[in-house]
Chain A
Amino acid sequence: MNKTSFLHLWVCRILLAGLGLLFSLPFFWMISTSLKPLRETMKMPPVWLPIPPQWQNYPEAMAAMGPFWLYAANSLSLAVLNVLGTVLSSAVVAYGFSRLEWRGRDGLFFVLLMTMMIPFPVVMVPLYGLFRELGWIGTMKPLWAPAFFAGAFNVFLLRQFFLGLPRDLTDAARIDGCSEFRIFWQIILPLARPALLTVALFQFMATWNDFLGPLIFLAREEQYTLALGLQALQSTISGTPWHHLMAASTLVVLPAILLFFFTQKTFLRGIATTGLK
């Protein structure tokens, strides 16, 4: 692109800088507010850099939420269980939909694609009834057990990846009389590590972000996730201590952002391929 003019490049750079500032401002404001004393949050003109920063807002906000670490442990264990369940089950199912040929396969796969059009709010009422019959309301099971039955979107993603692996990889093993499950487990799975990691990351984020599921199915405070604990803090307090709310919000965002920074490449590549395939 040697023909790109000097002016063009600098207009782009200025636009990028301006928009970058605009997009990062809410983050900056969240952190800045979280480090202010309460009266400074309402000061006009605004205080941009609170000096000295009120680090104690963080422990105070955690204390105001109640058992913060318990909520964090709940969120984390739900995320881990969901990741484990969905990666294992979606991989097995995606294998069946891609590397095996059998009658009815494509018809069933079409049904799977169609289920992506049924959003959670459509089925949540009967699901609530079902989990109530099972005695699962007030336990965390409704929030992780379904993950072990493969998610349509994840199956779709993994199937795309499996289809791209060369046939000869498995033909030799098949001729040697290797069982289909062993081929899946010992040949395909290790090769699919990047795709599996992508699915794991997406699922972790989805579970960490989930609000409606916990809102409906959890009944007791000791099972709350961070999202529910934070919502309880938001709706019970009066006078809106914005410094505490921002501190707590920052703590909930942080794990997602940290995870992103450690896995940036896989993450972005994963998102890009979902749209291009």
Chain B
Amino acid sequence: MEPGAGSVIRPAHRSTLQGLLFVAPWIAGFLVFNLYPFCASVWFSLCDYSVLSQPVYLGSKNFQDLLHDPVFWQALKNTLLFAAVSIPLGTAVSIGLAILLNQPAGAQGLFRTLFFLPCLVPAISLAILWQWMLNGQMGLVNMALRPWFDGLNSLFDCSLRPPDWLNDPSWALWGLILTGLWGTGQAMVIYLAGLQEIPEELYEAASLDGTSAWQRFLHVTLPMLSPVIFFNVLMGLIGALQTFAVPYILTGGGDGPGRSLLFLATYIYQNAFDFWNMGYASALALVLFLMITVLTLAAVRFGEKKVHYQGR
């Protein structure tokens, strides 16, 4: 404290104190529910810990085990593959839907609601519904696909069959991606709002220059929408990397045939609450955190170069 402050609280101090007082609930929550668990995670990852007994220091053993654990690598591969496919695909679909909705074709409200509704479906219902939709024999998806396959088979004299989605290790992840596409409505609403903010004059000017619709999309829509795309991709990335509930329920509380629906978050959960191997689970959690941090920073770096902010 500066000399002379004495017992009189000076205005500058009062306002700092007051500010801290207002944000105190968050500070307390941050310390207890973020900072402590994070630090504890770091410590547990260096220990043998089962919750029931005190952690025992192991050094880097958990991380060495992790490097030689094929299941970890599979979880990592699945997680990254899922993010790498579902984010671009979801972005394309939701931008496409938003552009379609933004045309003056009428009934915008009705269709916006139709496309948006699926993202309100809770994970539990979503997963059970798609378990049924993707059922190999009686699922609606395969019922729709079967006539096409029959046609192909009679044309080319072969015997192709639609995949048994969730029971086939090479198709299960694609089933999950399809499920995710159905729930893309939240991003679509944001894109639609973004499209409506683009000034009409830009399109008019571009039209006068004799540009095609595709050129206008590339040179007006995409740059003007880029901050919104950036936001959605970032949120999608953080979400995709922590995928847990839908694949877990889709597989009836497991990780799918040949562990094809095992994600990093699933593997953390299994180690922590099925095997009570909290030390190893913490090591996995740190890897997940590191991945999110690195990929987010990379996205922000990339975004600084590519995103077009108006007025900058």
- List residues of chain A with CB under 8 Å of any chain B CB: 1, 3-4, 8-9, 12-13, 15-16, 19-20, 23-27, 29-30, 33, 41-42, 44-46, 89, 92-93, 95-97, 100-105, 108, 111-112, 115-130, 132, 146, 148-150, 152, 155, 180, 184, 205, 208-209, 211-212, 216, 226-227, 230-231, 234-235, 242, 245-246, 248-250, 252-253, 256-257, 260, 264, 268, 271-276
Contact = CB atoms under 8 A, between A and B. Distances in A.
7 contacts: A100-B18, A104-B16, A116-B238, A123-B34, A126-B38, A146-B29, A250-B125
A139 to B, nearest CB: 17
Given A12-B100, A121-B264, A152-B26, 4 more contacts: A119-B292, A123-B38, A149-B32, A253-B120
A45 B292 CA distance: 46
A257 B120 contact: yes
B118 interface: yes
A260 B189 CA distance: 14
Interface in B84-143: 97, 100-101, 103-107, 110-118, 120-125, 128-130, 132-133, 137-138, 140, 143
B165 interface: no
A258 to B, nearest CB: 10
B34, B273, B281, most chain A CB atoms within 10 A: B34
B117 A26 contact: no
B20 to A, nearest CB: 7
Contacts of B82: none
Contacts of A148: 25, 29
Interface stretch (B65-73, B215-223, B240-248): B240-248
A110 to B, nearest CB: 12
B296 interface: yes
B111 to A, nearest CB: 5
A102 B140 contact: no
Given A33-B132, A132-B51, A275-B190, A15 B100 contact: yes
Interface of B: 12, 15-16, 18-23, 25-30, 32-34, 36-38, 40-41, 44, 51, 97, 100-101, 103-107, 110-118, 120-125, 128-130, 132-133, 137-138, 140, 143, 182, 186-187, 189-194, 197, 207, 228, 231-232, 238, 241-242, 244-245, 248-249, 252-253, 264-265, 268-269, 272-273, 278, 281-282, 285-286, 288-289, 292-293, 296
A81 B10 CA distance: 39
B292 A252 contact: no
B132 A246 contact: yes
B231 A275 contact: yes
Contact of A118 (B129, B207, B253, B289): B289
Contacts of B190: 271-272, 274-276
Contact of A117 (B193, B264, B265, B296): B296
A105 B27 CA distance: 12
Contacts of A250: 125
A26 B140 contact: yes
B182 A115 contact: no
Contacts of A257: 117, 120
B249 A253 contact: no
